[in-house]
A and B are shown apart, each in its own frame.
Chain A
Amino acid sequence: MIGAKISALFLVIAGIGLAVHVIRRSNGGSFGRRPELRSRWTRWICGAAGGAILLAFGIVTIRAAQSDVPEVSGPRTLRVPTLPPPADVFVGDRRVPAGRYLLHLAAVRPGQSSGTAVTSESFDFHWPSDLHRRFNLRATVGNVIVNADLVVDDMQWSASKRWDYEGSRNLSVKSVNSSSRSSSGGIVLPDVDYFGSVGGGKIFLSLRGELGETLEFLSDLTPVREDDPLRAGKLEDLIAIRGPELWRNLRAPERNNGPLELGEFRRSHDSPAEALANALDFNVLPLLAAAILLAQLFRRRWPGFVQVSAAIILYLGALDRFALRLTEAHVRDPANPVEVRVDVCRRMTSTAFFRETASQHLGELARDASLPPALRLRAAYLRGEK
Chain B
Amino acid sequence: MNRRIVQGLLWREWLLHRDELTWIFSAWVFGVWVVPFPPPVFMILFGIVSACLLAPSFGGSDAAEGSEEFSFALPPSRAQRYLVRLALGGGVLMALMAGALLAALFDLPQALWGLVFESTMTVPFSPTRPPFVFGLACALAAAIFADAFAAGACTRTPGGIGLLWLRAPMLAGIVMGAGFILEGIVTHGKSSGILASPLLGAWTLFRLFQGYRQYEIKEGVSGLPPLRRVGSSLAWGIVIAVVLAVLALFFLVMVPSA
Q: Which residues of A contact B (CB under 8 A)?
A: 5, 8-9, 12, 28-29, 33, 177, 179, 262, 265-266, 269-276, 279, 281-282, 284-285, 288-289, 292, 300, 302-303, 305-306, 309-310, 313-314, 317, 351-357
Give the residue name and chain of the A residue nearest to B127 (CB): A270
Bound complex: CA A8 to CA B115 (Å): 7
Given that A266-B124, A309-B30 are known contacts, is A317 also in contact with B116, CB under 8 Å in the complex? yes
A282 to B244, CA, bound (A): 12
Query: Are A356 and B22 in touch, CB under 8 angstroms?
Result: no
Check B248 for interface membership: any CB of A closer than 8 A: yes
Interchain Cβ contacts under 8 Å between A and B, 19 examples: A28-B11, A29-B15, A179-B256, A271-B37, A272-B110, A272-B123, A274-B123, A275-B119, A275-B121, A276-B120, A288-B244, A300-B22, A302-B27, A303-B25, A309-B35, A310-B34, A352-B119, A353-B121, A354-B119
Chain A residues near B22 (CB-CB < 8 A):
300, 302-303
Residues in chain B near residue A356, CB distance under 8 A:
118-119
Q: How far is it, in angstroms, between the C-alpha of A8 and the C-alpha of B111 when the chains are bound?
A: 11
A313 touches B121 (CB 8 A): yes
Choose among A266, A306, A309, A313 the residue that contacts B123 (Cβ–Cβ < 8 A): A266
B251, A281: Cβ atoms closer than 8 Å: yes
Q: Mark B87-127, 1 if CB is under 8 A from A, else 0.
A: 00000000000000000000001101101111111111110
Q: Closest 4 A-B residue pairs measured CB to CB?
A: A302-B26, A355-B119, A356-B118, A270-B126
Instruction: Tell whether, in the assembled complex, residue A292 and residue B36 are in contact, meaning their CB atoms are under 8 Å apart.
Output: no
Expressed in whole angstroms, the Cα–Cα distance for A352 and B256 within the complex equals 22
Q: How far is the CB of A204 from chain B (nearest CB, A)?
A: 11
- Contact for A309 among B19, B34, B112, B119, CB less than 8 A: B34
Q: Which residues of B contact A28 (CB under 8 A)?
A: 11
Pick from B29, B110, B240, B258: contact of A306, CB under 8 Å: B29
Question: A282–B23 Cα gap in the complex (Å)?
Answer: 27
Cβ B26 vs Cβ A273 within 8 A:
no
Distance in angstroms between the alpha carbons of A275 and B251 in the assembled complex = 15
Interface residues of B in 212-258 (CB under 8 A from A): 240, 244, 247-248, 251, 254-256, 258
Residues B115 and A9 in contact, CB atoms below 8 Å apart: yes
How distant is the Cα of A52 from the Cα of B15 in the complex, in angstroms?
A: 37
Q: Hey, what's the 0/1 contact readout for B14-42 against A, CB within 8 Å counting as 1?
A: 01000100110111011000111111000
Task: Select from chain A the residue with minimum beta-carbon distance to B31.
Answer: A273
Measured in the bound complex, the distance between the Cα atoms of B116 and A352 in whole Å is 13
Which residues of B are at the interface with A, using a C-beta cutoff of 8 A? 11, 15, 19, 22-23, 25-27, 29-30, 34-39, 109-110, 112-113, 115-126, 240, 244, 247-248, 251, 254-256, 258
- Tell me the bound Cα distance from A220 to B185 in angstroms: 66
Chain B residues touching A, majority SS: helix
Chain B residues with Cβ below 8 Å from A292 are: 240
Do the beta carbons of B118 and A355 come within 8 Å of each other?
yes
Task: Let me know if B38 and A271 touch, CB within 8 A.
Answer: yes
CB distance from B145 to the nearest CB of A (A): 20
User: Could you tell me the distance between the alpha carbons of A300 and B126 in the complex, rounded to whole angstroms?
Assistant: 34
Q: Which of chain A's residues have a CB closer than 8 A to the CB of B125?
A: 270-271
- Asked if B27 and A276 sit within 8 Å, CB to CB, the answer is no
The residues of B that contact A266 with a CB separation of less than 8 Å are 119, 123-124
| Bound complex: CA A30 to CA B255 (Å) | 50
**Neighbouring A residues of B112 by C-beta, 8 Å:** 12
Q: Are A271 and B34 in contact (CB under 8 A)?
A: no
**B38, A352: Cβ atoms closer than 8 Å:** no
Is the pair B120, A352 in contact by a Cβ cutoff of 8 Å?
yes
B38 to A270, Cβ gap below 8 A? Answer: yes
Q: Are B37 and A284 in contact (CB under 8 A)?
A: no
The minimal Cβ–Cβ distance linking B125 to chain A, given in whole angstroms, is 6
Question: Taking CB as reference atom, which chain A residue is nearest B247?
Answer: A285
A205 to chain B, nearest CB (A): 14
A9 to B122, CA, bound (A): 15
Q: Is the CB of A357 within 8 A of B118?
A: yes
Knowing A285-B244, A303-B26, A305-B26, say if A272 contacts B122 (CB, 8 Å): yes
Most buried by A among B15, B23, B35, B124: B35
Partner of A302, one of B11, B23, B39, B120: B23
Find out whether the CB atom of B30 lies under 8 angstroms from the CB atom of A265: no
Chain A residues positioned under 8 Å from B254 (CB to CB): 282
Q: Are A314 and B116 in contact (CB under 8 A)?
A: yes
Residues of B within 8 A of A284 (CB): 247, 251
A306-B30 contact given A12-B112, A272-B113, A300-B22, CB 8 Å threshold: yes
Structural contact, B244 and A279, CB atoms closer than 8 A: no
Least Cβ–Cβ distance between B194 and chain A, in angstroms:
24
Nearest-Cβ distance from residue B95 to partner chain A, whole angstroms = 15
Chain A nearest Cβ from B239, distance in angstroms: 11
Assess whether B120 is in contact with A306, with CB atoms less than 8 Å apart.
Answer: no
* Whole-angstrom distance between the Cβ of B143 and the nearest chain A Cβ: 26
